[in-house]
């Protein structure tokens, strides 16, 4: 028993200890919970205080920033307002100025309108007065005619002569008297002019001719191409004459290959064509390849080369004469003069000589020698036109000079040197005189050659006047005319009709020795390149 009792006491003691521990644990847990709640409340209070402080600080800062921004906006608004006010003020000023101008214009227009109205009234009054005066004059004229008729009838009755007979007798007597007076007056003026001007004029002309004494080159209608041996003639002719025909067709000349040793004669009235053929022959013979295709290629190249040479000749001429500022087209026309002739006289040589004569004579007379030299050089540019014109060469030359911005006095001197327009300056008679001096020297000109060339030009011009004709060549000294037409422009039947039409027109409009053969050629070519 005692052992059981001891065990119960120990268990009770242990239970109490456990209860105490539990109570202590519960107390600790309750204390911890209470402390956590208190700590949470204290932390929340502290955090809320800091949050409120931060909110207040942020609110204050936002208010400050807001006030700054409002001030900036107000300042910008004020500046913009001032700028807009300035702009509005400026616009108002412009509008005011425009209104003032419009008012002034309106006032001037009203004044003009009033002036026009006043003038119109005056003109109406004048017209009315004139109409009344016309009526009065008409009545008086009728009365005067009646009185004249009555007086004439009385005079015819008294004199026994009709009015026409009396008039004719009076006119004859007045004619004789006027002739006598005019003859005496003319003789007096001529004697006075001879005494005062003849000696001085002779002196100036003689001095001018002596100071400009140049040789004159006389152009022919034939050029001779010299060859090393006669074997070249066969190559130039080609198989069945194909080469020579191709060369004649390309250049528009007639090539004569005869028994003349080491020479081939090139015949054409146009010096440019002869020179083209001569240069082409020179290149073909030097190259050794002579066939139709090569001939056409060389002729085209020579034409371009000759064109460049023409421009170079014109530039050299202007530099030699000291003439500056000419239009490039005028320089080219001057270069073309080298291959033209006037009455057998080389046109460029004639123009240079005339220019020098004009300069000397203008200097002697106290005029501008540069202008005179310029007018003398350009006076015959109408003889070398790119396009044929119906105008005389003097008028056409003046037109060309005016086209290329030459001064009016120079244009007038060019156009008036054959009295085809009125002379307006002293340059015109100087150019006319010097042109005559240049052509009047012995051996300077040959009338026959010029007429021959004109006839050949007219032949070609007649053929070119028909539609469809592309090229014309007068050969055989004008005894044959070759006409090349476009294959796409007419057929064979039209070609036959064209030759008859040209022959009829030449027969009706021209004078020529013998007969003229017209050959119309229609050719079709197709060219392609293999690449």
Q: d(Cα 260, Cα 258) in Å, to the nearest integer? A: 6
Q: Please give the Cα distance from 187 to 273 (Å, whole number).
A: 54
Domain ranges for the chain, please list them. Answer: 222-445, 450-531
SS3 523: strand
User: CATH 1.10.10: does it fit domain 222-445?
Assistant: no
Which helix (H) or strand (E) is 264 found in, with range? Answer: strand 263-267
CA distance 420 to 148: 46
Chain centroid, CA 501 distance in Å: 38
Q: Give me the torsion for CA of 86, 92, 96, 97, rounded to 10°.
A: 50
- Residue 262 is classified by DSSP as T
**Which own/partner contact pairs does 22-26 have at CB distance under 8 Å and 24+ positions apart?**
none
pLDDT at 81: 87
Q: What is the 3-state secondary structure (H, E, C) of 443-458?
A: CCCCHHHHHHHHHHHH
Nearest by Cα to 414 from 356, 357, 366, 351: 351
For residue 204, CA distances in Å to 190, 235, 361, 424 come to: 20, 59, 7, 22
What distance in Å separates the CA atoms of residue 79 and residue 75, rounded to the nearest whole number? 6
pLDDT of residue 447: 45
With 0-12 CB in 10 A as exposed, 13-18 as middle and 19+ as buried, what is 233?
A: middle
Q: Which CATH superfamily is domain 450-531 in?
A: Cation efflux protein, cytoplasmic domain (3.30.70.1350)
8 A C-beta contact, residue 303 and residue 272 = no
DSSP state of 471: E
Contacts of 212 (CB under 8 A, 6+ apart): 353, 356, 357, 360
In terms of DSSP H, where are the helices of 482-525?
492-509
Model pLDDT, residue 212 = 52
Residue 215 is predicted with a pLDDT of 44
Supply φ then ψ for residue 524, to 5 degrees: -115, 125
CB atoms near residue 296 (< 10 Å): 15
DSSP secondary structure string, 176-214? HHHHHHHHHHHHHHHHHHIIIIIHHHHHHHHHHHHHS--
Are 446 and 427 spatial neighbours (Cβ–Cβ below 8 Å)?
no
Contact in structure between 233 and 257 (CB atoms under 8 Å): yes
Tell me what pLDDT residue 419 has.
80
Cβ pair 378, 321 in contact under 8 A: no
| Predicted local confidence at residue 339, as pLDDT | 79
pLDDT string in tens for the chain (531-residue length)? 445 455 567 777 787 788 888 888 888 888 888 888 888 888 878 787 788 888 888 888 888 888 888 888 888 889 888 889 888 999 889 898 988 999 998 898 889 888 888 888 888 888 888 888 888 888 888 888 888 788 777 776 666 666 677 677 767 777 777 777 776 776 677 666 666 665 666 666 555 555 554 444 444 566 677 777 767 777 777 787 788 888 888 888 888 877 767 778 888 777 788 888 888 888 888 877 888 888 888 888 888 888 888 889 889 988 888 888 888 888 888 888 887 776 667 788 888 888 988 998 888 888 888 888 998 988 888 888 777 677 888 888 888 888 888 888 999 988 888 888 888 888 888 888 888 887 665 444 554 556 677 788 888 888 888 888 888 888 876 778 889 888 888 888 788 888 888 988 888 888 776 678 888 888 777 777 776
**Amino acid 286: pLDDT:** 81
């Amino acid at each position: 028993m005692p052992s059981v009792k001891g065990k119960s006491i120990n268990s009770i003691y242990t239970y109490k200890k456990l209860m105490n521990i539990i109570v202590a644990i519960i107390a600790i847990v309750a204390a911890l919970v209470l402390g956590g709640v208190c700590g949470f409340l204290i932390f929340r209070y502290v955090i809320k205080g800091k949050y409120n402080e931060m909110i207040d600080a942020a609110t204050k800062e936002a208010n400050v920033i807001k006030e700054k921004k409002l001030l900036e906006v107000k300042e910008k608004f004020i500046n913009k307002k001032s700028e807009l006010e300035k702009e509005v003020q400026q616009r108002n000023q412009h509008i005011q100025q425009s209104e003032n101008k419009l008012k002034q214009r309106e006032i001037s227009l009203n004044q003009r309108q009033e002036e026009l109205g006043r003038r119109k009234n005056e003109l109406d009054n004048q017209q009315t007065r004139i109409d009344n005066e016309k009526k009065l004059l008409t009545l008086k004229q009728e009365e005067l005619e009646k009185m004249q008729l009555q007086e004439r009838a009385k005079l015819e009755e008294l004199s026994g002569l009709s009015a026409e007979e009396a008039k004719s007798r009076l006119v004859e007597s007045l004619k004789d008297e006027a002739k006598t007076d005019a003859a005496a007056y003319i003789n007096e003026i001529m004697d006075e002019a001879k005494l005062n001007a003849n000696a001085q004029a002779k002196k100036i002309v003689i001095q001018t001719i002596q100071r400009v004494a140049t040789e004159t080159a006389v152009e022919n209608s034939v050029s001779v191409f010299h060859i090393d041996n006669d074997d070249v003639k066969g190559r130039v002719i080609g198989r069945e004459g194909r080469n020579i025909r191709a060369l004649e067709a390309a250049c528009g000349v007639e090539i004569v290959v005869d028994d003349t040793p080491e020479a081939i004669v090139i015949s054409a009235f146009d010096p440019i064509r002869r020179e083209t053929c001569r240069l082409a022959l020179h290149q073909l013979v030097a190259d050794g390849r002579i066939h139709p295709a090569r001939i056409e290629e060389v002729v085209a190249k020579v034409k371009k080369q000759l064109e460049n040479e023409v421009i170079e000749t014109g530039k050299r001429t202007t530099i030699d004469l000291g003439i500056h500022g000419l239009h490039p087209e005028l320089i080219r026309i001057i270069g073309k003069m080298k291959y033209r002739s006037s009455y057998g006289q080389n046109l460029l040589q004639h123009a240079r000589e005339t220019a020098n004569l004009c300069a000397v004579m203008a200097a002697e007379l106290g005029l501008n020698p540069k202008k005179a030299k310029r007018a003398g050089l350009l006076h015959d540019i109408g003889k070398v036109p790119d396009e044929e014109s119906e105008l005389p060469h003097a008028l056409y030359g003046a037109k060309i000079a005016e086209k290329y911005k030459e001064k009016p006095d120079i244009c007038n001197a060019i156009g008036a040197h054959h009295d085809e327009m009125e002379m307006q300056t002293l340059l015109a008679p100087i150019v006319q005189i010097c042109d005559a001096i240049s052509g009047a020297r012995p051996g300077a000109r040959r009338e026959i050659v010029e007429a021959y060339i004109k006839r050949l030009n007219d032949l070609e011009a007649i053929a070119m006047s028909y539609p469809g004709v592309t090229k014309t060549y007068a050969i055989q000294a004008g005894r044959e005319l070759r006409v090349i037409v476009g294959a796409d422009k007419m057929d064979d039947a039209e070609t036959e009709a064209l030759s008859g039409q040209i022959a009829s027109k030449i027969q009706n409009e021209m004078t020529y020795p013998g007969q003229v053969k017209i050959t119309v050629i229609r050719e079709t070519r197709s060219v392609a390149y293999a690449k």
